[in-house]
Structure 1
Amino acid sequence: MRFKLNCIICLLLLVTTSAVAQVKTLIPGKDFSSIKVSTGLFVEIVTNAEEDKIEVRGSGRDEVSIEIEGDELQLSLPVGQIFSETEILVTVYTNEIVELKVRSGSEVEFMTPVTQENLKLIASEGSYIGGELQVDYLSLRAVTGASLSLIGSAKTMTIEMKTGASFDGEELKTETTDISLSFGGEASVFVTETCNARVNAGGTILIYGHPETLSQNVKLGGEIKVLD
């Protein structure tokens, strides 16, 4: 494993290798609450784990860079590996994650329901985030063709989407949602109480759940639809 270590970060390396399964396991020596994934990686996240642990599978496992800066776990591949056909899967086990940032065509899936108070998800550059959530407050940001697909529930949700991003949230039940969509893209939300929806310069917002209070604002093209 090409494992980067700097003077600020101290990762305790416990590496076990299975020639059959092609798996490396790393146990970090420092807590993290944020995860950043980039350069086309495929990552699974298992929450409510008993210990923080990272497993890397595949023939290209030695190419994965793993760092912790501050409280952020950073996972990436070298630029030259982005378009490689090498199969790599990273599984992150953690007790709780409060922020996830995914970029550069990476794909991240929550393998277990995320049950906690707050969660912030950021996706960009054609990346993807999916999974089941049970949270009180959810913040979403998606830009440049990124997509999110979420199920479960959130009491309060804020969404900012730009430049062709998409959000499939019809099965994510919320009480209050504030959503802003700009420069194309599409989002579907499920809201029961209060929904503030804004579209600027193209794009479509689909609203399910028949919210009791609905504020709509469309500028320079685009549409907002209320559906059964």
Structure 2
Amino acid sequence: MKKIYTLSLFLLPLVMFSQRIIDAEVGEFNKIKVFDLIEVNLIQSDENKILIKGWNVDDIKWVNKNGVLKLRMQLDKKFQGEDTLIEVYYTNLDVIDGNEGARITCNEMVQKNNIELRAQEGAKIHIGMDVDYAEMRAVTGGIIEASGLAKNLSVVLNTGGVFEGRELRTATTEVKISAGGEADVFASEVVDINVRAGGDVYVYGNPKTVRKKTFVGGKVHMRD
């Protein structure tokens, strides 16, 4: 027991040091771009700052240029951000952009007029919203999961992009897919679909008007 107690005392400072928290003011921004497998939680606030937690806190590089906040690993630690969590506190956010396997989550309902989400290179975004207009773009294996309300929605997918939006209630939705992709959408009034060179769209909500164009393998599936 004495040896175990001594070893625990020895390791405790190492664990605490490895999992330090860095608190940094980042200035005003309205767009965020995340890279290198980093996990981000977005939290609406009255200040703009980041809290970096995990084993690699000293390897995070951040820059705010012209209102665009970029979060990535140092060059020699590229694609090694999976053990790092960053809480991002923001006052206003118009564009959320995930890259290189990043994971971005909004911890609360986003309420505003317009929002734009982009996911590429295997990145994943999870968001709840209440907006007038939402624009989604997922390419190269990017995934966007959205729920809540959007009066109008635009979805663009290609090269394996995925949009999981069955729980996002909309009045009108436009979907464009090229070179493969998959979308689940919910529309009550109008859905306008254009699929080229492979792709699947699953439509929920029994919209009153359905416009669809498919070419070379594209499919539209109507669901109850």
TM, length-normalised to structure 1: 0.88
Cα drift, residue 33 of structure 1: 0.6
1:206 and 2:220 matched: no
Q: Residue in 2 aligned with 1:6?
A: none
Shift in alpha-carbon separation, 1:127–1:60, aligned structure 2, 3 A = same
Q: Say which structure is richer in helix.
A: 2
Aligned to 2:23: 25
Compare CA radii of gyration and give the structure with the larger one: 2
The runs of 5 or more residues in structure 1 that have no matched partner are 1-17
Task: Name the residue aligned to 1:108.
Answer: 104
Which residue in 2 is equivalent to 1:3? none
- Offset of residue 78 of structure 1: 2.6
Whichever residue aligns with residue 223 of structure 2, its letter is: L
Matches within 5 A, 1:23-102: 23-28=21-26, 30-47=27-44, 49-84=45-80, 87-102=83-98
Question: Deviation at 1:113?
Answer: 0.9
Query: What is the CA distance between 1:79 and its match in structure 2?
Result: 4.1
SS of structure 2 residue aligned to 1:108: strand
The share of aligned pairs that are identical, in percent, is 30
Deviation at 1:82, TM superposition (A): 3.6
Q: Counterpart of 1:156?
A: 152
Deviation string for 1:169-217 (max 9, x for gaps)?
0000001111101111211000001110111011100000011111011
CA distance in 1, matches of 2:126, 2:138: 13
1:96 maps to a residue whose letter is N
Q: 1:162 to 1:86 in 2, by over 3 A?
A: closer
Q: Secondary structure of 1:112's match?
A: coil
Q: Give the deviation of 1:105 after TM superposition.
A: 0.9
**Structure 1 CA distance for aligned equivalents of residues 184 and 81 of structure 2:** 33
Deviates more, 1:119-128 or 1:72-81: 72-81
Alignment length (residue pairs): 209
Q: How does 1:175-190 map to 2 (within 5 A)?
A: 175-190=171-186
Cα distance in 1 for residues equivalent to 2:81 and 2:212 = 45
d(CA) in 2 for partners of 1:172, 1:85: 30
- The answer to whether the 8 Å contact 1:36/1:72 transfers is yes
Contact 2:79–2:100 (CA under 8 A) maintained in structure 1 = no
SS of the residue corresponding to residue 62 of structure 1 reads helix
Contact 1:60–1:88 under 8 Å retained in 2: yes
Question: Does the 8 Å contact 1:39/1:79 carry over to 2?
Answer: no
The equivalent of 2:223 in structure 1 is 227
Alpha-carbon distance in structure 2 between the residues aligned to 1:206 and 1:91: 34
> 1:41-80: per-residue Cα shift (whole Å, max 9, x none)?
1111012x12112100012001111101101111111344
Q: How does 1:110-149 map to 2 (within 5 A)?
A: 110-149=106-145
Contact 2:73 2:79 in 1 (8 A): no
CA shift, 1:19, in A, is 4.8
CA–CA distance in structure 2, aligned partners of residues 71 and 83 of structure 1: 24
When the two structures are superposed, what TM-score results if normalisation uses the length of structure 2? 0.89
Runs of at least 4 residues of structure 1 off by over 4 A?
18-21
Letter paired with 1:41:
I
Whether the aligned pair in 1 keeps the contact of 2:114 and 2:134 (CA below 8 Å) is yes
- SS of residue in 2 equivalent to 1:223: strand
What RMSD in Å do the two structures reach over aligned CA positions?
Answer: 1.5
Per-residue deviation, 1:84 = 3.5
Structure-2 separation of matches of 1:156 and 1:86: 34
Q: Within 1, Cα distance between the matches of 2:109 and 2:80?
A: 31
